[in-house]
Structure 1
Amino acid sequence: MPEFWPSTIAAPLAVLVALALDRAFGEPPARCHPVVAMGHYLSFMGRRIAPLVDEAHKRPALSFILGGLAWCLGLVFCVSLAVVAAWLMTGWPWWAQALALGVLLKPMLSWRMLRDEVRAVETALAESLPAGRERLSWLVSRDVSHLGEAAVRESAIETLAENLNDSVVAPLFWFAVAGLPGAALYRFANTADAMWGYPGERNGRDWTWAGKWAARADDVLSWLPARLTAALLAVPTARQRLRHLPAQAGLTPSPNGGWPMAAMALALNVRLAKPGVYILHPTGRSPTLADTAQALHLSARVVAGLAAFACVAALFNGWRHYS
């Protein structure tokens, strides 16, 4: 029996505590946010593993190896801290374990911020199209200067669906599977993918090979949660549209991101597209304000369903480890 595993009832309650803290307070201050600390590490190491653009052709294999080593070093540190934190709670009363675990789990997930940012895009669109584009630029890295109202809304709904997995479902899934170390593992891997995983040039450095390890690791860890997210989103989808989900999910470059996005498009019966890259559910209508509201409603239901799943899975794991 692992010494760092919490009491049988503490882990399920920690999920509820984390979600309650997220609802009440949102994100912790940057100075004490563990994901911000992960970002500082990744930024520091990134300047040392990714070659300058004009030198990228000289050492692709070395860039890949250094990227993998730096990723592993950061992961070991983050997971070790989580293991130590959980171990220190050994012997605490169940209620104290639940509270402490919930406080530590909260920074690993972010539902309120995601929901509020998508709502903010709609609020800005109500003012003007330029305001909507400006607010959308906070959420996406693509050029938004030429997007129309429908395209702005499509991008916001896509971001909601994809990040529903990355920011809520996957962290809770890995917490249910492996406790606080599992949630820390996923959050580090996903943050590394966001900072290192996209090939090409950023800030004068080439990430074609330096970030490949981070990208593939995130693909592996997100594979099952992304499909779980899609399944939960697809619950209200008409059967004749649901059969198109696997094919539609395969249209995006990401092996995982397409699943929740395609499920959202089919559930809402709307078209979602990234110009020049993919079109999901092309026979769907253009999304409206009501569709954004419905997308947020579906996402909230997924969070509730996943919380129930995580509680049951954590309860089962606790019972299994202590039986």
Structure 2
Amino acid sequence: MASAPAAIDGHRTFASPLARRLAKEAGIDVAAVSGTGPHGRVIKKDVEAAVSGGTAKAAPAAAPAAQPAAAAAPAAPKGMSDDAVLKLFEQGSYELVPHDGMRKTIAKRLQESKQTIPHFYVSVDCELDALLALRTQLNDSAPKSKDGVPAYKLSVNDMVIKALALALRDVPDANVSWTDSAMVKHKHADVGVAVSIPGGLITPIIRSAEQKTLSTISNEMKDYGKRAKERKLKPEEYQGGTTAVSNMGMMGVKNFAAVVNPPHATILAVGAGEQRVIVKKGEMAIATVMTVTLSTDHRAVDGALGAELLAAFKGYIENPMGMLV
């Protein structure tokens, strides 16, 4: 019968079945016994010598019995240490940039999110031609000051914010936050919008966006964006919210999935609008199409509910006049 391996300090030790049994009965660690058999295998006399000489280490404590499924999950393994990472690169070939408080906070929250929230993803393509035409019409009709400055200038992102807010109004079961004891159902759609700033990003919130006009949303976002880059936002302007939008379309990104930022249960990742060949009534046509991906906390918003929310969002994007009434 082949010897079964034991391990100590990462090395395998081979022992005969009899030696293993005797070591177990004696309460010693067979991996700590010096073997004199072929290729260093531990045999009966080695165990007996170790017992009589008192040189063997005690056997390690038995592993605890398997816990039921409800037991807490083990801690996630830690990443490489600073020294271990730096040893991989030649000295002088890099510069160390210490993490500031914002970067550390973002890293901690996103790591916790991916470790503790069961993410689920739903994507849909939205045709933008009607929305782009309405946006042009609304911007052209914006009142102007004496200096010729328009009262507002709508962006596609402003209209995405409004469409998501209205979709959450129409699908209220998706406008929620998860807690261990209850589902928090929100009465308004407070839409956070990811804004990139030096050292990370921040998410100012358009409160009750479902009730606000497109021009109000546009001007609030313009103000938030300016003050975010100056780091002048107040905590109440970026804390909380019921959902979020992350738009990388202006960077040419076609499709991506964002990380849910609790207490939100959803976040919408918005890709670039681009001309694509589509089929309408059996014939090929060219349309401006945008891919969006909804990330959800599956505990609060499951696949079917997420799909219902995206369908409502798509309806407002493709029939944008509905956002004006």
- Common fold: TM-score over 0.5: no
* Structure that is richer in helix per residue: 1
* Structure that is richer in strand per residue: 2
Give the TM-score, by structure 1 length: 0.21
Flag the structure with larger Rg: 2
